[in-house]
C-alpha cells in the first residue's frame, strides 16, 4: 500500500456493512478509532457508516466484527489511506487484502 496515496474525495463508503449479518452488537463502533461507524438508534439498531470521509482504512472494524458483516475496501483511493498495519510494517494476510 502506498503510504502517500492521494486521490479524489470518496463518494462511496470505504466500509460496507452486510445488514443480514450485522447483529447491532456495536463491536465495530467501539473498534473504530476515528468514529466512522455508528449504530442506527432511530431505525434498525444496526451499524451504519456515518462519516465515510474520516475512514483511515485501519480495518479494526472488520477485524473486530464477530459475524464478518463489515468489509473495508483496501483498494479505495483516499488521502487518509494509511493503516496501523502500514505504520508498523505488518503484512496483511491474503484474506484481508
**pTM assigned to the model:** 0.67
The rounded distance, in Å, linking the Cα atoms of 82 and 95 is 18
**Higher-scoring residue by pLDDT: 92, 8:** 92
Band of pLDDT at residue 16, cut at 50, 70 and 90: very high
Joined together, the cell numbers standing for residue 97 give 487484502
The rounded distance, in Å, linking the Cα atoms of 83 and 49 is 18
Indicate the range of 1-10, 25-34, 53-62, 70-79 predicted with least confidence.
Answer: 1-10
Whether 58 is in a domain gets the answer yes
The CATH number that applies at residue 40 is 3.30.70.20
Which residue, 19, 24, 32, is CA-closest to 80? 32
Tell me if 1 sits within 8 A of 82, measured CB to CB.
yes
Q: What is the CA radius of gyration of the chain?
A: 13
Where in the sequence is the domain holding 59, given as residue range(s)? 16-83
Give the pLDDT of residue 45. Answer: 93
Whether 47 is in a domain gets the answer yes
Band of pLDDT at residue 77, cut at 50, 70 and 90: low
Joined together, the cell numbers standing for residue 51 give 462519516
Whether 8 is in a domain gets the answer no
Residue 85, H or E segment? helix 84-88
Tell me if 82 sits within 8 A of 3, measured CB to CB.
yes
Report the mean per-residue pLDDT for the chain: 80
pLDDT tens-digit readout, 61-76:
999 999 999 998 877 6
Amino acid at each position: 500500500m502506498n503510504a502517500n496515496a492521494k486521490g479524489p474525495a470518496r463518494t462511496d463508503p470505504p466500509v460496507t456493512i452486510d445488514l443480514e449479518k450485522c447483529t447491532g452488537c456495536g463491536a465495530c463502533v467501539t473498534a473504530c478509532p476515528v468514529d466512522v461507524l455508528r449504530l442506527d438508534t432511530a431505525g434498525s439498531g444496526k451499524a451504519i457508516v456515518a462519516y465515510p470521509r474520516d475512514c483511515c482504512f485501519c480495518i479494526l472494524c472488520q477485524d473486530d466484527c464477530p459475524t464478518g458483516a463489515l468489509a473495508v475496501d483496501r483498494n479505495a483511493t483516499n488521502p487518509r489511506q494509511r493503516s496501523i498495519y502500514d505504520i508498523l510494517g505488518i503484512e496483511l494476510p491474503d484474506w484481508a487484502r
